[in-house]
Amino acid sequence: MPVDGLRLEEISFHFDTAPTLAGVSLKVPAGAFVSILGPSGCGKTTLVKIVAGYLKPLAGRVLLHGTDITNAPPGKRNTGMVFQNLALFPHMSARGNVAFGLEARGLPSSEIRQRVEAMLDQVGLKPDERNRQPGNLSGGQQQRVALGRALVIQPSLLMLDEPLSNLDSHLRDQMRGLIRQVQRDTGVTTMMVTHDPEEAMAMSDLIAVMNQGTIVEVGTGRDLYQRPRSAFVARFLGLANIVDGSVIGHRPGSSLLVRPECLVINGEGVPFAGIGKVINSEFFGADVLVTVALGNIQMLVRGRPNIMPQPGTEVRVSAMPGTIHELPADGES
C-alpha cells in the first residue's frame, strides 16, 4: 500500500480562545504538489507552521512519508521552506545562502561545492550572479536563491509560503513555471500556501480550499473550478454566475453555476437563453467582461474583444452545452 507523502490527521489549534484550525485532515500523495488556498485569516499559514514544526498542534498528527513528526523540532523534519519574505542571509552570497544547510549538516566541502553549483544551475541563477549578496540581486534572482537553498538539502517536503506575492506579474509568471518545473524534476512532495486561485490552479496537482479553520473541499483545479460542491468554492476560484434553478428551467430551489466564459452573446446555445440589457463592458486586452441584466438578475459574460456591446444594448445570452453545473443542495452559500 503506497505511503502518503504528507498526511494530516485531525489537526486542531487555537490562539487564546479563538479556534484557528478545527480538525484539519489532508492526504497528499508522495511527489505531488498541493496548494492550501483560502482567504486571509482562514488558518492556512498556521497550518504550514504546524507542518514545519514552528507551532505544535493541540490535537492531531502530522505524518511525513509515514513517519510521525508531530513532536519533532523543525531541524529534525528534513523539510525545506521558502518564506514569503525569503529570509535570505544578507551578509552571505547567493552561493553561501544555498550552501548554509549543507554546511550545517557537516558535509564535506567538495560535496557542498558540487551540490550548490548543480542546484544553482537547476534554478537558473547565472554564474556571474552567484557571488552577489541578496541586496545586489533582483527579486526574481532572490527567489531562485531561496528555492535553491530549500531544495539543495534534498528535503522530504518542500513548503512555499506565498512565494510569489512580492513579485510583479511578469516575474510571477516566470517563477511560477520555474518552481513547477523544478518540483517535477526533483519529485519532492510540495505544499504551497496561497490566496491566489490562478496561482494554485496553474501549479498544483491538488488544491485544498480552506475557510474558517477547516478544509472545505479538496480536488484538482479543473474539478474545483468546473464542478465545486459549494458556492463559496465556486466564487473563490473565479468569477461565477450563481442563480436559482427555476430561472433557467431547472429544479426550483437548486443553485446553478455558470462561469462567464461559458456564456455567449447573440449566439446559438442550449439549454438557456434570455434577452437582457448590457449594463457594463470592460476591456482587458485578450478578452472583455460584459455585465448583462436579465430581469432582476445580473450575469457576467466573458468573450472576445471583437464582441463588446455598449451599455444599453439589448442582447441575447445563451450557455454553451454542458456548462451549467448544479451545486449540491447542502453546499455552503
Residue 155 lies in a domain: yes
Question: Quick one: 203 and 259 in the same domain?
Answer: no
- Domain final residue, candidates 201, 233, 265: 233
Q: Is 112 left (phi over 0), alpha (psi -120 to 50) or beta?
A: alpha
Residue 133 lies in a domain: yes
β-bridge pairing 59-64 and 4-15: antiparallel
Tens place of pLDDT per residue across the chain (333 aa) = 567 899 999 999 988 766 789 999 999 999 999 999 999 889 999 999 999 999 999 999 999 999 999 999 998 999 999 888 888 999 999 999 999 999 999 999 999 999 999 999 999 999 999 999 999 998 889 989 999 999 999 999 999 998 888 778 778 888 898 899 999 999 999 999 999 999 999 999 999 999 999 999 999 999 999 999 999 999 999 999 998 766 665 666 778 899 999 999 988 665 566 889 999 999 998 899 999 998 888 999 998 888 788 899 999 998 888 888 988 875 554
The Cα 227–Cα 272 span in angstroms is 18
Question: Quick one: 253 and 204 in the same domain?
Answer: no
The predicted structure's pLDDT at residue 250 = 62
Residue 332 lies in a domain: no
Residue with cell 544551475: 121
For the stretch 129-144, pLDDT in tens is: 999 999 999 888 998 9
- Domain final residue, candidates 190, 214, 233: 233
The predicted structure's pLDDT at residue 331 = 53
Question: Quick one: 228 and 263 in the same domain?
Answer: no
Question: Quick one: 267 and 203 in the same domain?
Answer: no
Cα dihedral 181→183→184→190 (10° resolution)? -140
Total number of domains constituting the chain: 2
The Cα 202–Cα 194 span in angstroms is 12
Which residues have CB under 8 Å from 197's CB, separation 6+? 37, 236, 237, 238
- Domain final residue, candidates 178, 201, 233: 233
CATH number of the domain within which 23 lies = 3.40.50.300
CA atoms within 13 A on the CB side of 285: 0
Residue 333 lies in a domain: no
Q: Which residue range forms the structural domain that includes residue 81?
A: 4-233
Question: Quick one: 176 and 137 in the same domain?
Answer: yes
Contact present, 124 and 185 (Cβ < 8 Å): no
Residue 16 lies in a domain: yes
Residue 227 lies in a domain: yes
Residues in the chain, overall count: 333
Q: How far apart are the first and last CA of the chain?
A: 38
Residue 60 lies in a domain: yes
The Cα 142–Cα 88 span in angstroms is 8
CATH number of the domain within which 264 lies = 2.40.50.140
Question: Quick one: 304 and 161 in the same domain?
Answer: no
The predicted structure's pLDDT at residue 135 = 92
The CA-atom distances, in angstroms, between 15 and each of 65, 85, 90 are 29, 23, 32
Question: Quick one: 15 and 150 in the same domain?
Answer: yes
Question: Quick one: 35 and 119 in the same domain?
Answer: yes
Question: Quick one: 221 and 261 in the same domain?
Answer: no
Question: Which residue type sits at 290?
Answer: V
Question: Quick one: 118 and 26 in the same domain?
Answer: yes
Question: Quick one: 37 and 163 in the same domain?
Answer: yes
Residue 286 lies in a domain: yes
Question: Quick one: 109 and 227 in the same domain?
Answer: yes
The predicted structure's pLDDT at residue 86 = 84
- SS3 of 275-308: the string is EEEEEEEEECCCCEEEEEEECCEEEEEEECCCCC
Q: Cα 159–33–59 angle (5° rounding)? A: 55
